[in-house]
Amino acid sequence: MALSINVTALTAIGGVRQIMLNIVAPVEAGGLPYLGLGSVEIWASSTNNRAAAAKVGQTSTGQFIHSDLPSGVITRYYWARAVNVAGTPGNWHPASATAGVPGTTVATTPGPNSIGNAELQDGAVSTSKVSSIDAYKINASSLSAISANLGFVTAGTVTGALIQTSTGSTRVEVSNYSNALDVYSDGRFMLRLGGSGGIALTLRGPLDAFVSNYGVAAEINNYGGYSTSHGMRSRSSGGGMGLVGVSAGGGGYAFYAEVGSYGPFTGSHDALISKASDVDLGEIVCDVRVLSRKGIDDTLTEVERSSQRGQKAVIGVVSRRVACSVDIAIAGLNSQSIREHLALNYDRLTINAVGEGQISVCGRGGNLDAGDLIISSDLPGKGERQADDVVRSITVAKVREAVTFDYPDQCRLVACIYLCG
């Protein structure tokens, strides 16, 4: 069931033939951006009875002007309710059907040297009748429903429910609903600074991205030449602290833990496997050949499912398999032509090699005790118990639980520590 959003405050200020309503409602339901505020419905009645009220409009900002009311002094009673983007209406505000928020219009008398009627008929003032307005400034507590083409605006404070650079799909806006600065591109939310959800900065990547940038939500560059010119430092009060994108002079690390450690920890390798090869998650794979090299830190290999007992070429356990596309981010790849060739023939694997996880083990080596070592089995892709407790080049993992098999070819996913490195 979708969560509802409820209006928390509603006030009314009367003007000449109009009443301005100020509405307060949260921008999200339960801290869920995809259940955000769609609109606020405004209902009005000439009597303090919601049963007699009619919907007079709706708004997606914090204000609504009920205009074109009869001349003279009249009173209207108002109720509001929020509707989230899923179409679910919230509770009425005020909750009582006989406690509407009153708003009363005013009748004004023009002062000296002003137009002598209390109101003007539509079209009474036209362009041909007004040559220019010569004034040093215009003082007003409120200007409503106006459109102005202004080259520059100079002011100490600009206050409003919604301030935006455009009404189009690509815009920057500041809203009192979200209490945040939001950036949209082609109708898609990209960035929020501030807000009421306890997150200072929210970023969202594009749906589609160019090959050159892989569609990242945020990119931080530091072009300083010092050994301390790192990309980003992140810290928590009393907790961990680390660097992302360490400078070459500082060691060139992708991640560097200054305070604390990494956890939970599972280290993985990239690898490619032929599209025609079968392999399941949790199974053991072995290196076949090196496909690409990049610097001293990165290599990329072709792998295949293990097929012999105690293979030395074991590299780890399959965690994920995805299609290999030309724009996929693989650190060990170089030229675009290599990417195009590999994308036609291979899938990408993520292979767990160190840290904790699970491994698919069969019963051909016997039952398992916590602490037993695992090697590859002659049952393709599966592991089995190593006969001794000496870590060797053929060792894949150390199990963390006891397992009893019903028959030799029975296979189980077993908790382990990976030892392939």
Q: What pLDDT, on the 0 to 100 scale, is given for residue 228?
A: 79
pTM of the model: 0.57
Residue 326 pLDDT greater than 80, yes or no: no
Residue 81 CA to residue 39 CA, distance in Å, equals 9
For the chain, the straight-line distance linking the first and the last C-alpha, in angstroms and rounded, comes to: 47
Of 204-218, 256-270, 291-305, the one with minimum mean pLDDT is 204-218
39 contact partners, CB below 8 Å, separation of at least 6? 58, 59, 60, 82, 83
Q: Using an 8 Å Cβ cutoff, are 287 and 301 in contact? A: yes
Q: What is the mean pLDDT of residues 290-316?
A: 95
Of 229-233, 280-284, 386-390, the one with minimum mean pLDDT is 229-233
Residue 31 pLDDT greater than 60, yes or no: no
Residue 390 CA to residue 384 CA, distance in Å, equals 15
Residue 92 CA to residue 7 CA, distance in Å, equals 7
Q: What pLDDT, on the 0 to 100 scale, is given for residue 299?
A: 92
Q: What pLDDT, on the 0 to 100 scale, is given for residue 208?
A: 46
Of 71-80, 107-116, 249-258, the one with minimum mean pLDDT is 107-116
Q: What is the mean pLDDT of residues 120-144?
A: 59
Residue 337 pLDDT greater than 90, yes or no: no
Q: What is the mean pLDDT of residues 5-32?
A: 85
Between 288 and 262, the more confident residue is 288
Q: What pLDDT, on the 0 to 100 scale, is given for residue 156?
A: 63
Residue 412 pLDDT greater than 90, yes or no: yes
Q: What pLDDT, on the 0 to 100 scale, is given for residue 40?
A: 92
Q: What pLDDT, on the 0 to 100 scale, is given for residue 354?
A: 97
When mean pLDDT is compared over 22-26, 175-179, 198-202, 370-374, the highest value belongs to 370-374
Residue 109 pLDDT greater than 60, yes or no: no
Average pLDDT, the chain: 83
Residue 368 pLDDT greater than 90, yes or no: yes
Q: What pLDDT, on the 0 to 100 scale, is given for residue 206?
A: 58
Which tens digits make up the pLDDT trace of 178-217? 778 888 887 777 777 777 666 677 776 655 443 344 556 6
The proportion of the chain whose per-residue pLDDT surpasses 90, expressed as a percent, equals 46
Report helix, strand or coil for 205: coil
Residue-by-residue DSSP string for 29-67: ETTEEEEEEEEEEEEEESSS-GGG-EEEEEESSSEEEE-
Q: What pLDDT, on the 0 to 100 scale, is given for residue 220?
A: 79
Q: What pLDDT, on the 0 to 100 scale, is given for residue 197?
A: 62
* Domains assigned to the chain: 9-104 (2.60.40.10), 162-203 (no CATH), 235-262 (no CATH), 266-421 (2.40.300)
Of 53-67, 201-215, 273-287, 322-336, the one with minimum mean pLDDT is 201-215
When mean pLDDT is compared over 163-172, 256-265, 322-331, 369-378, the highest value belongs to 369-378
Helix (H) or strand (E) segment spanning residue 234: strand 232-235
Residue 142 pLDDT greater than 90, yes or no: no
β-pair partners for 298:
294
Cα torsion 253, 256, 261, 263: sign: negative
Which tens digits make up the pLDDT trace of 351-361? 999 999 999 99
Of 22-36, 202-216, 276-290, 299-313, the one with minimum mean pLDDT is 202-216
Between 87 and 34, the more confident residue is 87
Residue 48 CA to residue 79 CA, distance in Å, equals 10
In terms of Cβ atoms closer than 10 Å to its own Cβ (0-12, 13-18, 19+), residue 236 is: exposed
Residue-by-residue DSSP string for 294-318: ETTTEEEEEEEE--STT-TTEEEEE
Q: What pLDDT, on the 0 to 100 scale, is given for residue 52?
A: 96
Q: What pLDDT, on the 0 to 100 scale, is given for residue 145?
A: 54
Q: What pLDDT, on the 0 to 100 scale, is given for residue 175?
A: 76
Q: What pLDDT, on the 0 to 100 scale, is given for residue 133?
A: 59
Residue 64 pLDDT greater than 80, yes or no: yes
β-pair partners for 191:
183, 203
114 contact partners, CB below 8 Å, separation of at least 6? none
Q: What pLDDT, on the 0 to 100 scale, is given for residue 162?
A: 75
